[in-house]
């Protein structure tokens, strides 16, 4: 079962004040289905842990036509596309209740040694998996590096990673970075805009108690395109870099 899909209801607690699925919740749905499918195929977290390995999301790129509303039934689909250097590639799509594709994404995952956190080559760690991966791509290209922020017009927001941000691997869950970043926008902006494209790089692990600076700067002076850098204050380590392109909503 190399292409895997599952229907989900959009719960109220997965939506924001606009009544639509929040951007962070979108990443949660994708993470959930990716984990379920990996387990079905025999290389989920529980399987990798028998050899002392874990999955970690490194990059994600998503193009969003629209986000579903609360109580809408959606279908999420995913499939692996083999490996690219150190990355295991997995594509994802979301469909609305009428069967229209509303989100397309490509994700790049790495395998880490659970104790040392050293990278493992996925083709070696998954050598027991003998499969022909689908050629179909959700997006034309795999997720790539996000450019550095501009030095101009920077805004800094400070916060602290709490217990609710931490996942089973004892580091900050990937979707929490999206929640953090979108939480820095003004309510009026989120009300009048919807996310169009999202690019995320996960660069280092964050932990409970980390004091964080979220540094935001527009791309080339744009009013709808921003890059966010998530920095741990204690050692100035960049944990994540996120670019979000927004489109204005017709209210």
CATH number at residue 84: 3.10.129.10
Residues 194 and 99 reside in one and the same domain: no
pLDDT confidence of residue 102 = 98
pLDDT one digit per residue (tens) for the chain, 251 residues? 689 999 999 999 999 999 999 999 999 999 999 999 989 987 888 888 888 888 889 999 999 999 999 999 999 999 998 888 889 899 999 999 999 999 999 999 998 888 888 888 776 666 555 466 777 999 999 999 999 998 889 999 999 999 999 998 899 999 999 999 999 999 999 999 999 999 999 999 999 999 999 999 999 999 999 999 999 999 999 999 999 999 998 65
pLDDT confidence of residue 4 = 95
pLDDT confidence of residue 151 = 87
Residues 152 and 206 reside in one and the same domain: yes
Residues 134 and 106 reside in one and the same domain: yes
pLDDT confidence of residue 124 = 67
pLDDT confidence of residue 141 = 95
Residues 130 and 153 reside in one and the same domain: no
Residues 83 and 178 reside in one and the same domain: no
Residues 33 and 44 reside in one and the same domain: yes
Residues 31 and 79 reside in one and the same domain: yes
Residues 90 and 38 reside in one and the same domain: yes
Tokens (6 digits) for 41: 């195929």
pLDDT confidence of residue 241 = 98
Residues 4 and 114 reside in one and the same domain: yes
Domain boundary among 89, 111, 144: 144
Residues 189 and 130 reside in one and the same domain: no
pLDDT confidence of residue 156 = 96
Domain count, the chain: 2
Residues 129 and 17 reside in one and the same domain: yes
pLDDT confidence of residue 105 = 98
Domain boundary among 112, 144, 176: 144
pLDDT confidence of residue 209 = 98
Domain boundary among 82, 115, 144: 144
Residues 126 and 150 reside in one and the same domain: no
Look up the domain containing 62 and give its range: 1-144
pTM: 0.92
């Amino acid at each position: 079962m190399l292409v895997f899909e599952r229907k989900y209801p959009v719960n109220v607690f997965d939506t924001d004040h606009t009544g639509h699925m929040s951007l962070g919740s979108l990443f949660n749905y994708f993470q959930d289905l990716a984990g379920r499918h990996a387990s079905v195929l025999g290389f989920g977290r529980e399987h990798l842990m028998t050899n002392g390995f874990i999955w970690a999301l490194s990059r994600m790129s998503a193009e969003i036509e629209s986000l579903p509303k609360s109580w809408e039934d959606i279908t999420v689909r995913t499939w692996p596309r083999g490996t690219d250097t150190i990355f295991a590639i997995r594509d994802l799509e979301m469909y609305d209740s009428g069967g229209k594709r509303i989100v397309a994404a490509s994700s790049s995952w790495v395998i880490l040694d659970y104790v040392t956190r050293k990278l493992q080559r996925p083709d070696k760690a998954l050598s027991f998996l003998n499969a022909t991966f689908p050629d179909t791509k959700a997006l034309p290209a795999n997720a790539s590096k996000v450019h550095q922020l501009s030095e101009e017009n920077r805004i800094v927001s400070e916060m602290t990673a709490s217990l609710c941000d931490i996942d089973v691997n004892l580091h900050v869950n990937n979707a929490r970075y999206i929640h953090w970043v979108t939480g820095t926008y003004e309510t009026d902006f989120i009300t009048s805009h919807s996310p169009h494209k999202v690019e995320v790089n996960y660069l280092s692990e964050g932990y409970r108690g980390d004091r964080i600076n979220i540094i935001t700067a527009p791309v080339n002076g744009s009013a709808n395109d921003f890059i966010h850098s998530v920095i741990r204050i204690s050692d100035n380590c960049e944990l994540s870099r996120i670019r979000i392109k927004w489109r204005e909503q017709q209210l």
